[in-house]
């Protein structure tokens, strides 16, 4: 078994660990981004073919059958392309929420925000 | 090839650990940029040029957005690290995750053997063989995105539109400058 899958999984776990232990909003956003990168890499790895060529038809491989036997799987790539762009819009939304919280409470620290919100509710 | 892939992944893991461990938010954001550009290089190695291009563009925009969140801190670090109890609980969870993953990993398809090779009716081989003929696109990734799976792309556009609307609402200038004052006004009315 190749170690590549294991490394991608370790990258995923680094993100999960950060998400569980950090209390700073920016650190949480970074953890989510790391998890996204790991998942995208895993999906593209699943479609890789040893010694394959990019799924773009060129004059070097005019025969469709020969091309189909050598090209890597284009399907995960298309879906991961969608996922990368959605990841960016997710990040923009998270940054928006964090900035708004910073303007209200003056900190990115979740514990401090919670404390301030509780005092306010009293 | 595999050695190069492994070293790039190790680099990305180190960058991710640095991003999560450092006390300075600007350094953390830049380390996240290393993760993103590393994954772009991995995409190139895995013969996915479209993904590599998109990843670079997305990573640059993400860096700009995240640096915007750290600018006004002017290098101030964040408070002390998480409590020991929290780290122990998270470590235990990750360990359980890793152990259960070790059972799953041997069942994954081997690296370099896509699923479409073993399953004759996989949609990927259909796309590869008939893509050019049916859509007229030489690039099969775009053929799938904009033709075979166009509804998925429509859903993607919907998500992006919603997220942009949300971010715009949250980051309106009027809204940001009047925030604390707006709250006091609301309390005064009560």
Domain boundaries, chain B: 1-73, 150-190
For residue B74, the model assigns a pLDDT of 65
Residue identified by tokens 């190790």 is B10
- What was the ipTM of the complex prediction? 0.91
Name the DSSP class of B78: P
Subunit contact B128:A71, Cβ cutoff 8 A: yes
SS3 B7: helix
pLDDT, one tens digit per residue, over A63-109 is 888 888 888 889 999 999 999 999 999 999 999 999 888 888 888 88
Chain B contact for A96, CB < 8 A?
A: yes
For residues B135 and B139, what is the distance between their CA atoms, to the nearest angstrom? 10
- Looking at per-residue pLDDT, the higher value among A1 and B165 belongs to B165
B26: closest CA of chain A, how far (Å): 10
Three-state SS across B96-132? HHHHHHHHHHHHCCCCCCCHHHHCCCCHHHHHHHHHH
Which residues in chain B have Cβ-Cβ distances shorter than 8 Å to A85?
Answer: 54, 58, 156, 160
- Contact yes or no for B116/B124 (Cβ under 8 A): yes
Subunit contact A88:B128, Cβ cutoff 8 A: no
Residue identified by tokens 């996922």 is A83
The two three-digit tokens of residue B63, written as one number: 């860096």
pLDDT, one tens digit per residue, over B31-51 is 999 999 999 999 999 999 999
Subunit contact A108:B65, Cβ cutoff 8 A: no
Say what angle helices A74-105 and B150-170 make with each other, to 10 degrees.
10
Which residues in chain B have Cβ-Cβ distances shorter than 8 Å to A41?
Answer: 9, 39, 42-43
- Contact yes or no for A46/A76 (Cβ under 8 A): yes
Name the residue among A33, A46, A78 with its Cβ closest to that of B62: A33
Lowest-confidence pick of A46-50, B115-119, B179-183: B179-183
**Which of A30, A36, A63, A66 to substitute to test the interface with B, most B CBs within 10 Å?**
A30
User: Which structural domains are found in chain A, ordered by start?
Assistant: 3-50+62-121 (1.10.287.3510)
The two three-digit tokens of residue B175, written as one number: 């809204």
Which residues in chain B have Cβ-Cβ distances shorter than 8 Å to A22?
Answer: 20, 82
pLDDT at B177 > cutoff 80:
no
């Amino acid at each position: 078994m190749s170690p590549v899958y294991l490394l991608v999984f370790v990258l995923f776990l680094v993100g999960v660990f950060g998400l569980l232990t950090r209390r700073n909003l920016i650190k949480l956003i970074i953890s989510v981004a790391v998890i996204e990168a790991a998942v995208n890499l895993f999906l593209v790895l699943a479609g890789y073919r040893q010694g394959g060529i990019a799924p773009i038809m060129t004059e070097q491989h005019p025969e469709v059958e020969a091309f189909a036997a050598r090209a890597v799987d284009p399907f995960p790539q298309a879906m991961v392309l969608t996922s990368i762009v959605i990841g960016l819009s997710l990040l923009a939304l998270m940054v928006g929420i964090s900035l708004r919280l910073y303007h209200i409470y003056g900190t990115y620290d979740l514990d401090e925000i919670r404390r301030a919100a509780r005092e306010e509710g009293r | 090839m595999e050695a190069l892939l492994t070293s790039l992944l190790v680099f990305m893991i180190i960058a991710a650990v640095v991003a999560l461990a450092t006390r300075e938010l600007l350094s953390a954001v830049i380390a996240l940029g290393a993760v993103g550009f590393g994954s772009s290089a991995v995409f190139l190695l895995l013969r996915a040029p479209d993904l590599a291009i998109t990843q670079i563009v997305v990573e640059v925009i993400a860096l700009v957005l995240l640096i915007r969140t750290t600018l006004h801190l002017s290098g101030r670090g964040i408070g002390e690290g998480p409590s020991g109890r929290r780290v122990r609980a998270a470590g235990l969870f990750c360990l359980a995750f890793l152990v259960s993953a070790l059972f799953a990993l041997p069942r994954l398809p081997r690296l370099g053997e896509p699923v479409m090779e073993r399953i004759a009716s996989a949609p990927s081989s259909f796309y590869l063989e008939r893509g050019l003929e049916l859509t007229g696109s030489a690039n099969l990734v775009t053929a799938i995105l904009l033709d075979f799976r166009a509804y998925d792309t429509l859903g993607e556009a919907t998500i992006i539109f919603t997220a942009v609307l949300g971010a715009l609402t949250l980051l309106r200038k009027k809204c940001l400058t009047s925030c604390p004052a707006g709250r006091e006004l609301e309390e005064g009315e009560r």
